[in-house]
Chain A
Amino acid sequence: ETGVTQTPRHLVMGMTNKKSLKCEQHLGHNAMYWYKQSAKKPLELMFVYNFKEQTENNSVPSRFSPECPNSSHLFLHLHTLQPEDSALYLCASSQTGQAYRGEKLFFGSGTQLSVL
Protein backbone atom coordinates (compact mmCIF):
# COMPACT_ATOMS: atom_id res chain seq x y z
CA GLU A 1 0.00 0.00 0.00
CA THR A 2 1.25 3.47 -0.89
CA GLY A 3 -0.57 5.36 1.85
CA VAL A 4 -2.84 7.05 -0.69
CA THR A 5 -6.39 5.73 -0.89
CA GLN A 6 -8.86 6.55 -3.64
CA THR A 7 -12.58 5.84 -3.76
CA PRO A 8 -14.47 4.62 -5.61
CA ARG A 9 -12.26 2.27 -7.63
CA HIS A 10 -14.73 2.26 -10.50
CA LEU A 11 -17.42 4.74 -11.49
CA VAL A 12 -19.91 4.77 -14.32
CA MET A 13 -21.88 7.94 -14.83
CA GLY A 14 -24.14 9.56 -17.36
CA MET A 15 -23.35 12.92 -18.89
CA THR A 16 -25.94 14.67 -16.72
CA ASN A 17 -24.85 13.12 -13.42
CA LYS A 18 -22.90 14.75 -10.64
CA LYS A 19 -20.37 12.60 -8.80
CA SER A 20 -17.26 13.07 -6.69
CA LEU A 21 -13.96 11.25 -6.47
CA LYS A 22 -12.24 11.08 -3.11
CA CYS A 23 -8.58 10.79 -2.19
CA GLU A 24 -7.04 10.45 1.27
CA GLN A 25 -3.38 10.26 2.16
CA HIS A 26 -1.95 8.95 5.43
CA LEU A 27 1.63 10.03 4.82
CA GLY A 28 1.62 13.45 6.45
CA HIS A 29 2.27 15.12 3.10
CA ASN A 30 1.32 18.70 2.29
CA ALA A 31 0.95 18.52 -1.49
CA MET A 32 -1.76 16.64 -3.35
CA TYR A 33 -2.35 16.17 -7.06
CA TRP A 34 -4.93 15.00 -9.56
CA TYR A 35 -3.69 13.30 -12.73
CA LYS A 36 -5.64 11.95 -15.70
CA GLN A 37 -4.44 8.76 -17.40
CA SER A 38 -5.99 8.01 -20.78
CA ALA A 39 -5.17 5.03 -22.94
CA LYS A 40 -2.14 5.57 -25.19
CA LYS A 41 -1.37 8.95 -23.63
CA PRO A 42 1.08 10.12 -20.96
CA LEU A 43 -0.15 11.06 -17.51
CA GLU A 44 -1.64 14.54 -17.58
CA LEU A 45 -1.40 16.78 -14.54
CA MET A 46 -4.74 18.41 -13.74
CA PHE A 47 -4.47 20.16 -10.39
CA VAL A 48 -1.95 20.71 -7.60
CA TYR A 49 -2.70 21.72 -4.03
CA ASN A 50 -0.03 22.79 -1.60
CA PHE A 51 -0.94 23.32 2.04
CA LYS A 52 -4.64 23.31 0.95
CA GLU A 53 -4.12 26.07 -1.60
CA GLN A 54 -4.48 25.38 -5.31
CA THR A 55 -1.14 26.13 -6.93
CA GLU A 56 -1.76 24.73 -10.37
CA ASN A 57 -4.70 24.29 -12.72
CA ASN A 58 -3.47 22.82 -15.97
CA SER A 59 -6.19 24.36 -18.16
CA VAL A 60 -8.74 21.84 -16.95
CA PRO A 61 -12.38 22.33 -18.08
CA SER A 62 -14.69 23.71 -15.41
CA ARG A 63 -16.75 20.51 -15.41
CA PHE A 64 -13.94 19.22 -13.15
CA SER A 65 -13.95 21.01 -9.81
CA PRO A 66 -11.31 20.13 -7.19
CA GLU A 67 -11.63 20.64 -3.47
CA CYS A 68 -8.98 20.30 -0.79
CA PRO A 69 -10.47 20.80 2.70
CA ASN A 70 -7.23 19.82 4.45
CA SER A 71 -3.81 18.44 3.59
CA SER A 72 -4.99 14.84 3.90
CA HIS A 73 -8.08 14.94 1.70
CA LEU A 74 -8.66 15.83 -1.92
CA PHE A 75 -11.85 15.64 -3.93
CA LEU A 76 -12.66 15.94 -7.60
CA HIS A 77 -16.25 16.96 -8.25
CA LEU A 78 -17.59 15.94 -11.64
CA HIS A 79 -20.60 17.33 -13.49
CA THR A 80 -21.87 17.25 -17.07
CA LEU A 81 -18.90 15.19 -18.22
CA GLN A 82 -18.32 14.06 -21.79
CA PRO A 83 -17.53 10.53 -23.01
CA GLU A 84 -13.97 11.64 -23.79
CA ASP A 85 -13.50 12.28 -20.07
CA SER A 86 -13.52 8.52 -19.52
CA ALA A 87 -10.10 7.67 -18.07
CA LEU A 88 -8.24 6.58 -14.96
CA TYR A 89 -8.04 9.45 -12.48
CA LEU A 90 -5.05 9.23 -10.20
CA CYS A 91 -4.44 11.07 -6.98
CA ALA A 92 -0.91 11.57 -5.68
CA SER A 93 0.79 13.24 -2.77
CA SER A 94 4.28 14.47 -1.95
CA GLN A 95 5.95 16.18 0.97
CA THR A 96 5.80 19.79 -0.21
CA GLY A 97 5.21 19.74 -3.97
CA GLN A 98 8.83 20.09 -4.98
CA ALA A 99 9.40 17.12 -7.28
CA TYR A 100 12.41 18.88 -8.83
CA ARG A 101 14.15 18.63 -5.47
CA GLY A 102 13.83 14.88 -5.54
CA GLU A 103 10.55 14.58 -3.68
CA LYS A 104 8.82 11.36 -4.53
CA LEU A 105 5.22 11.24 -5.69
CA PHE A 106 3.06 8.59 -4.05
CA PHE A 107 0.09 7.55 -6.16
CA GLY A 108 -3.21 5.97 -5.26
CA SER A 109 -4.64 3.14 -7.34
CA GLY A 110 -6.98 5.47 -9.19
CA THR A 111 -10.65 5.68 -10.05
CA GLN A 112 -11.57 4.17 -13.42
CA LEU A 113 -14.25 6.49 -14.76
CA SER A 114 -16.61 5.67 -17.60
CA VAL A 115 -18.89 8.38 -18.94
CA LEU A 116 -21.85 7.10 -20.96
Chain B
Amino acid sequence: GESVGLHLPTLSVQEGDNSIINCAYSNSASDYFIWYKQESGKGPQFIIDIRSNMDKRQGQRVTVLLNKTVKHLSLQIAATQPGDSAVYFCAEIPGNTGKLIFGQGTTLQVKP
Protein backbone atom coordinates (compact mmCIF):
# COMPACT_ATOMS: atom_id res chain seq x y z
CA GLY B 1 0.00 0.00 0.00
CA GLU B 2 0.96 3.64 -0.12
CA SER B 3 2.57 5.24 2.86
CA VAL B 4 4.56 8.29 3.66
CA GLY B 5 6.52 8.15 6.83
CA LEU B 6 9.09 10.01 8.85
CA HIS B 7 12.03 8.36 10.51
CA LEU B 8 11.79 10.03 13.90
CA PRO B 9 8.68 11.24 15.76
CA THR B 10 10.67 13.87 17.69
CA LEU B 11 13.84 15.81 16.91
CA SER B 12 15.50 18.07 19.47
CA VAL B 13 18.12 20.60 18.33
CA GLN B 14 20.01 23.50 19.82
CA GLU B 15 19.09 26.97 18.70
CA GLY B 16 21.42 28.04 15.91
CA ASP B 17 22.18 24.49 14.78
CA ASN B 18 20.97 23.03 11.49
CA SER B 19 18.03 20.62 11.55
CA ILE B 20 17.42 17.71 9.23
CA ILE B 21 14.00 16.09 9.13
CA ASN B 22 13.65 12.90 7.13
CA CYS B 23 10.81 11.26 5.29
CA ALA B 24 10.54 7.97 3.45
CA TYR B 25 7.92 7.28 0.82
CA SER B 26 6.94 4.00 -0.75
CA ASN B 27 5.14 4.91 -3.97
CA SER B 28 7.58 5.07 -6.87
CA ALA B 29 4.85 6.78 -8.91
CA SER B 30 5.01 9.85 -6.66
CA ASP B 31 6.30 12.82 -8.60
CA TYR B 32 5.50 15.78 -6.39
CA PHE B 33 6.43 16.29 -2.74
CA ILE B 34 5.57 18.95 -0.21
CA TRP B 35 6.69 19.86 3.29
CA TYR B 36 4.23 21.40 5.73
CA LYS B 37 4.80 22.99 9.13
CA GLN B 38 2.15 22.91 11.85
CA GLU B 39 2.62 25.12 14.87
CA SER B 40 0.72 24.50 18.06
CA GLY B 41 -2.92 25.55 17.74
CA LYS B 42 -2.69 26.18 14.01
CA GLY B 43 -3.29 24.31 10.80
CA PRO B 44 -0.51 23.02 8.53
CA GLN B 45 1.30 25.65 6.49
CA PHE B 46 3.12 25.08 3.19
CA ILE B 47 6.90 25.40 3.47
CA ILE B 48 8.45 24.15 0.26
CA ASP B 49 7.81 21.68 -2.54
CA ILE B 50 9.83 19.72 -5.05
CA ARG B 51 9.07 17.79 -8.22
CA SER B 52 10.66 14.47 -9.08
CA ASN B 53 12.71 15.98 -11.90
CA MET B 54 14.75 17.83 -9.27
CA ASP B 55 17.11 16.63 -6.54
CA LYS B 56 17.28 19.79 -4.50
CA ARG B 57 15.33 22.97 -3.98
CA GLN B 58 16.17 25.87 -1.73
CA GLY B 59 13.98 28.39 0.00
CA GLN B 60 14.61 30.90 2.70
CA ARG B 61 16.65 28.95 5.34
CA VAL B 62 15.10 25.70 4.13
CA THR B 63 16.30 23.13 1.63
CA VAL B 64 14.49 20.05 0.44
CA LEU B 65 16.46 17.10 -0.91
CA LEU B 66 14.95 14.27 -2.91
CA ASN B 67 16.62 10.92 -3.43
CA LYS B 68 14.41 8.94 -5.78
CA THR B 69 16.72 5.93 -5.76
CA VAL B 70 15.96 5.19 -2.11
CA LYS B 71 12.62 7.04 -2.01
CA HIS B 72 13.82 9.50 0.58
CA LEU B 73 12.95 13.13 1.19
CA SER B 74 14.55 15.47 3.68
CA LEU B 75 13.99 18.98 4.94
CA GLN B 76 17.00 20.94 6.12
CA ILE B 77 16.51 24.04 8.24
CA ALA B 78 19.54 26.29 8.60
CA ALA B 79 20.27 28.13 11.86
CA THR B 80 17.22 26.74 13.62
CA GLN B 81 15.27 29.28 15.63
CA PRO B 82 12.71 28.92 18.45
CA GLY B 83 9.99 29.87 15.96
CA ASP B 84 10.83 26.73 14.00
CA SER B 85 9.43 24.58 16.81
CA ALA B 86 6.50 22.75 15.24
CA VAL B 87 5.37 19.47 13.73
CA TYR B 88 6.69 18.93 10.19
CA PHE B 89 4.83 16.77 7.67
CA CYS B 90 5.93 15.52 4.33
CA ALA B 91 3.32 14.77 1.72
CA GLU B 92 3.47 13.10 -1.67
CA ILE B 93 1.31 13.06 -4.74
CA PRO B 94 1.50 9.98 -6.94
CA GLY B 95 1.27 10.91 -10.58
CA ASN B 96 -1.23 8.12 -11.24
CA THR B 97 -3.77 9.32 -8.66
CA GLY B 98 -3.11 13.02 -8.21
CA LYS B 99 -4.12 12.65 -4.56
CA LEU B 100 -2.20 14.19 -1.69
CA ILE B 101 -0.96 11.68 0.91
CA PHE B 102 0.35 13.00 4.22
CA GLY B 103 3.00 11.44 6.42
CA GLN B 104 2.76 11.14 10.17
CA GLY B 105 4.84 14.12 11.27
CA THR B 106 8.04 14.87 13.16
CA THR B 107 8.00 17.21 16.14
CA LEU B 108 10.94 19.62 16.09
CA GLN B 109 11.93 21.01 19.50
CA VAL B 110 14.40 23.88 19.58
CA LYS B 111 16.38 24.26 22.79
CA PRO B 112 17.52 27.78 23.73
Contacts and interface: CB of A to CB of B under 8 A. Distances in A.
Given A41-B104, A42-B105, A100 B98 contact: yes
A106 B100 CA distance: 14
Nearest to B3: A42
Interface string B12-46: 00000000000000000000100000000111111
Contacts, number: 49
Interface residues of A, number: 20
A99 B43 contact: no
Interface residues of B, number: 20
Nearest to B103: A42
A4 B43 contact: yes
**Which 6 pairs from chain A and chain B are nearest by CB?**
A107-B43, A100-B98, A43-B102, A42-B102, A100-B93, A104-B46
Interface of A: 2, 4, 40-43, 45, 90, 92, 98-100, 102, 104-110
